Copies of this chain bind each other. A is one copy, B any other.
Amino acid sequence: MEVEVKFKADKDIEDRIRSMAELVCEKEEIDLYFNSPVRDFRKSDEALRIRKDSEGVKITYKGPKIDPETKTREEIEIRVDNYEKAVELLKRLGFVPVREVAKRRRIYRLENVTICFDEVKELGMFVEIEIKSEDLESAKRKIFEIARQLGFDPAKSIRKSYLELLEDSDKEINRGARN
């Protein structure tokens, strides 16, 4: 399980992250999200994406969120050898490309915790704090402790994915255009 929280951030936050955690890598991640022909993943709270970055290509399925305070969910991920063929394969199986999410991500590590400083195209800066663990409660305690140390209010954690935030922002723009 991927136990994870996300917060809206600004540039200063990254200095604080740098002072407590170690930079592991920096990369551009391009994610292409798909919807299912069987059930609307927006409603079932699932996600399917192909990610392309400097390390290669991965297909990831995310199950529904299982916790009210965090973005915690089951994740199944496989590495694949070819982006274009993976996209074509999913399309032939009936999956529909929905939207691309592009970001520059710097990944920091603090013991078993991963802290990502993300600059997301069209959305701005965010911090994600994550532990891979089957022990939800203890992982949450640790994650919220680090969030507080970075100056975040746990009550302001964002449960929406970048995809959902982008879709919300599209709606805002359309509403603005109609007014």
- Which residues of A does B touch, CB under 8 Å? 36-39, 46, 48, 59, 61, 63, 76-82, 85-86, 88-89, 92-95
Contact = CB atoms under 8 A, between A and B. Distances in A.
Contacts of A61: 89, 92-93
28 contacts: A36-B93, A37-B38, A38-B38, A38-B94, A39-B94, A46-B92, A48-B93, A59-B80, A59-B89, A61-B89, A61-B92, A61-B93, A63-B92, A76-B85, A76-B88, A76-B89, A77-B85, A78-B80, A78-B81, A78-B82, A78-B85, A78-B86, A78-B89, A79-B80, A80-B80, A80-B81, A93-B93, A93-B95
Report, nearest first, the 9 A-B pairs whose CB atoms are least far apart.
Answer: A79-B81, A78-B80, A38-B94, A76-B89, A37-B38, A78-B85, A61-B92, A61-B89, A76-B88
Identical copies of this chain, number: 2
Contacts of A46: 92
A77 B92 CA distance: 12
A92 B79 contact: no
Contacts of A93: 36, 48, 61, 93, 95
A49 to B, nearest CB: 12
A46 B94 CA distance: 12
A141 B38 CA distance: 42
Contacts of A92: 46, 61, 63, 76
Contacts of A94: 36, 38-39
Contacts of A89: 59, 61, 76, 78
